[in-house]
Amino acid sequence: MTATTTAPIAAPSVRTEKRPSGRMRAWATRAPLLPALIFMIAVTQLPFVATLVISFFDWNSLYPDARSFTGFGNYTEVLTDAALRKSVWTTILLTVTVVLASLILGLGLALLLDRKFRGRGVVRTLLIAPFLVVPVAAALLWKHVLYNPEYGLLNGLLHYVGGPQPDWISNTPLLAVEMSLVWQWTPFMMLILLAGLQSRDHQQIEAAKVDGASDWQVFRYLTLPHLRRYLELGALLGSIYIVQNFDAVFTITSGGLGTANLPYTVYQSFYQAHENGLASAAGVLVVIGSIIIATFALRVVSSLFREEVGRA
Amino acid sequence: MSATAIRVRPRSAESGHPGPRRPRGRGLGLVAWLAGIVFFLPIAWMALTSFHSEEDAATNPPSFGAALTLDGYREFFGAGGGASPWPSLINSTVASLVSTLLVLLLALPAAYALSIRPVKKWTDVLFFFLSTKMLPVVAGLLPIYLFAKNTGMLDNIWLLVILYTSMNLPIAVWMMQSFLSEVPVAIIEAAQIDGAKLPTILARVVAPIALPGIAATALICFIFSWNELLFARVLTGVVAETAPVFLTGFITSQGLFLAKVCAASLVISLPVLAAGFAAQDKLVQGLSLGAVK
C-alpha cells in the first residue's frame, strides 16, 4: 500500500470477512442492510412493477368502467405519437446542452478560483448561491423577474445599451429553460471540478514548469487528464438530475412551445388527460431509456472505482 | 488492511498551494470577481426587488434607488387577503426534517454493513441503491398516486415523508459508506481486543470519525427534500401543500406582483441558502456522494 496515492474518488472498500463461520453469522452481518434494502424495494421497485402492469391496459381514469386489456396497444400509440417523440428529443437536447454548458462554464470558474486572489472565499460563496435557490423559486425568478419582456432585468439592462427588447420565453423557449438551468447547475460542476483541481500533484506541475512547459501544456497534458474523472462524475450526476427535470419546464413554459420533456409529458398525460394506460406506457419507455443510459453510466462509475481499488 | 483507496485529507479552498507560485496579474482575480457578480446578480436583484413597491418593481429601465418597503413581505405573509404561506412552510419543515431523520436511521446501519464489516459480493447492493436514483421518478408516480387515492393517503404529509426518504436513502447510503470506510479497521479491532462491546465501539470510535460526514449527509437530504416539487404537486392539495407547491401559485402572472414573488422566493430559499453557506466545504462531498473530497 503506497501512501502517496492521491485517490480523491472513493472506492467502496473491498475488505471482506476472513472466514464467515456459518450462515447465521453471515446473516447477522447483513442484517443492518436489510431495513434500507427492503424499504427501497418496496417504495421504488413496486410502483414500477405496477406501472408495467397498468401500461398494458386501456384505462382512462374518467371512465373507470371502460378498462380493458390492450396488450401493446398503448406502446404503439405512444411510439407513433408525434408529441411524445418530440419530447424524447427535447429531453436529450435539454440534458446535453445544460450538462455541457455547465461543465464548460464550471471548468472555467474552477480554474479561476483555483488561483489565489483577494476575496476568493467571497467569490466562491457568490458563485455557489444559484445552486442554493429552491428550483421552483429560481424558475420563477427567471420567468418573471429576468425574462419578462416589459419590465424584466435582462431587457432593462439591454435598454441601457440601446439593445433589442426580445420576448425571451416566446422567441426562444427552450433556450430560456436551458439558461436558467445552466445558471443553477454551473456552481455544482464548479464545486466538483475545484475539488479535482485541488487534488492535483503540485510538485509534478512545478517540475513541468521548471522543465519549461507552458501553462497551456501543463493544462493540456497534466491538469485535463487528472480532471477527466471529475468531468465524468459531474456529467453523470448532472445528467441524472437534469434528465428528470420537472420544475423548470413546469414553471417557465408549462411545457408549452416545444419545451415539454419526458417527465413533463408523462405527468401531463395522467394528471391532465387522465390517460393512465398511455402515461404508464410512456413511463415504461422512459425507464427503458434510463436503464440503457444508467448501465453505461454505472459502467463508467464502477470502472472509476475499480481503477482506485487496483491502484491501492 | 487490503485494497482500500487512500484519500487525501481535503484542503480547504482557502489554503493556497504549496510551493512557489508566479504572481500573474490581477486580471484573472478581477475576472473571477466579475463572474461571481454576474452569477449572483439575479439573486441580488431578487432581494432588492422584494423590498420595492409593486409599482417600482415593474419598471423599465429598472429602478435601483426606489424607496424601500416591506409591502412585498406583508403581501406574501397574507396581509392582502391572500393565502397564508405558513401551513406550507410548516409542511415543508416537517417533511424535510422527519424524512432526513428516517434516512439517517435506515442508512447508518446499511452503510455500516457495507463499509466496516462488508459481506462478500455485497458491493452490488451499493450499485442497486445508486441505480434507483437513475430511474425516472415520474414513471412510478401513477401507481403511487392511485395507491394514495385508494388508501386515503392523498394530501397527507406522511406520504411525502416516505417518498422523500426513498428519494434520499440511496444518496445517504453512498455518502455514509464512503465516510465510514475512513474508519481504520485496525482501531476497531484494537478496541475489540481490549474487550469493548459493539455499542461502545460505535459510540467512542466510529461516531467521532463519522460525525462530520453524517452532518453533511443530513444537510444534503434536507436540501433535496425541501426543494422537491413533482411528488408534492401531484400528491398534495390543500392540507399537505409544501412551500414549492405554494410557489407554483405564482406561475401565471396576473397584475403586479413582482415584489411579492421575490419576497416569497427569497423566504422559501432562505433555509437552503443558510444551510448551504454554513456547510460550503461539505457541499461538494455530499453532492458527489462522498466521492470527491
CA distance B69 to B84: 20
Confidence at residue B36, expressed as pLDDT on a 0 to 100 scale: 94
Distances (CA, A) of A145 to A119, A128, B252: 29, 20, 13
Chain B: residue whose CA lies nearest to A264: B138
Confidence at residue A135, expressed as pLDDT on a 0 to 100 scale: 94
Residues with Cβ within 8 Å of residue B210, at least 6 apart in sequence = B176, B179, B180, B182, B183
Q: Does A217 touch chain B if contact means CB atoms closer than 8 Å? A: no
C-alpha cell at B22: 508566479
Interface list for B 73-102 with A (CB within 8 A): none
CA distance A227 to B278: 27
Residue of B41, B59, B269 with shortest CB distance to A137? B269
CB A107 within 8 A of CB A163: no
Contact residues, chain A, for B134 at CB < 8 Å: 240, 290-291, 293-294, 297-298
**Interface touch A267/B223, C-beta < 8 Å:** no
CB A147 within 8 A of CB A98: no
Count interface pairs A-B at CB distance under 8 A: 397
Residues with Cβ within 8 Å of residue B211, at least 6 apart in sequence = none
pLDDT averaged over chain A? 81
CA distance A166 to A170: 9
State residue A27 phi and psi, 5-degree precision.
Answer: -70, -30
Report H helices in chain B: 27-50, 54-57, 71-76, 86-115, 123-134, 141-151, 157-180, 185-193, 198-201, 207-227, 230-235, 243-248, 258-278, 280-287
**Interface touch A40/B166, C-beta < 8 Å:** yes
CA distance A192 to A234: 7
Confidence at residue A311, expressed as pLDDT on a 0 to 100 scale: 41
Residues with Cβ within 8 Å of residue B234, at least 6 apart in sequence = A267, A271, B141, B145
Q: Does A43 touch chain B if contact means CB atoms closer than 8 Å? A: yes
Amino acid making up residue A202: H
Confidence at residue A300, expressed as pLDDT on a 0 to 100 scale: 67
Half-sphere exposure of A141 (CA within 13 A, CB side): 30
Mutation target for A interface from B41, B130, B138: give the one with most A CBs within 10 A: B138
Mutation target for A interface from B1, B102, B129, B141: give the one with most A CBs within 10 A: B141
Confidence at residue B91, expressed as pLDDT on a 0 to 100 scale: 92
CA distance B112 to B108: 6
Q: What percent of chain B has pLDDT over 70?
A: 87
**Interface touch B251/A254, C-beta < 8 Å:** yes
Chain A: residue whose CA lies nearest to B259: A145
Confidence at residue B164, expressed as pLDDT on a 0 to 100 scale: 94
Which positions of chain A have pLDDT values less than 70?
Answer: 1-21, 62-63, 66, 298, 300-312
Q: Which of A223, A240, A220 is nearest to A110 (CA)?
A: A223
Amino acid making up residue B85: P
Average pLDDT over residues B225-236: 91
Q: Does B106 touch chain A if contact means CB atoms closer than 8 Å? A: yes
Confidence at residue A169, expressed as pLDDT on a 0 to 100 scale: 82
Contact residues, chain B, for A266 at CB < 8 Å: 136, 138-139, 141
Confidence at residue B142, expressed as pLDDT on a 0 to 100 scale: 85
SS3 A275: strand
pLDDT averaged over chain B? 82
Amino acid making up residue A150: E
Interface list for B 9-38 with A (CB within 8 A): 10-11, 13-14, 16-21, 26, 28-29, 31-33, 35-37
Contact residues, chain A, for B119 at CB < 8 Å: 16-17, 20, 26, 29-30
This prediction's pTM: 0.83
- Entry field: residues in chain A: 312
Helix axes B258-278, A120-128, angle to 10 degrees: 130
Grid-cell match 419526458, residue found: A262
Confidence at residue A79, expressed as pLDDT on a 0 to 100 scale: 81
Residues with Cβ within 8 Å of residue A84, at least 6 apart in sequence = A78, A265, A282
Q: Does A25 touch chain B if contact means CB atoms closer than 8 Å? A: no
CB B120 within 8 A of CB A16: yes
Confidence at residue A141, expressed as pLDDT on a 0 to 100 scale: 92
Average pLDDT over residues B79-100: 89
Q: Which residues pair with A58 in a beta bridge?
A: A68
CA distance A71 to A272: 24
CA distance B42 to B58: 15
Residues with Cβ within 8 Å of residue B79, at least 6 apart in sequence = none
Confidence at residue B11, expressed as pLDDT on a 0 to 100 scale: 43
CB B129 within 8 A of CB A40: yes
Q: Does B253 touch chain A if contact means CB atoms closer than 8 Å? A: yes
**Interface touch B62/A153, C-beta < 8 Å:** yes
Residue A172, sorted as left (phi over 0), alpha (psi -120 to 50) or beta, turns out to be: beta
Please provide the DSSP assignment of B62-126 as one string: PPSSPPP-SHHHHHHTTTTS---SHHHHHHHHHHHHHHHHHHHHHHHHHHHHHHTSPPTTTHHHH
Confidence at residue B254, expressed as pLDDT on a 0 to 100 scale: 62
CA distance A193 to A188: 9
Residue B106 pLDDT exceeds 90: yes
Interface list for B 143-162 with A (CB within 8 A): 143-147, 162
Contact residues, chain B, for A260 at CB < 8 Å: none
CA distance A95 to A290: 13
CA distance A243 to B134: 9
Mutation target for B interface from A145, A159, A300: give the one with most B CBs within 10 A: A145
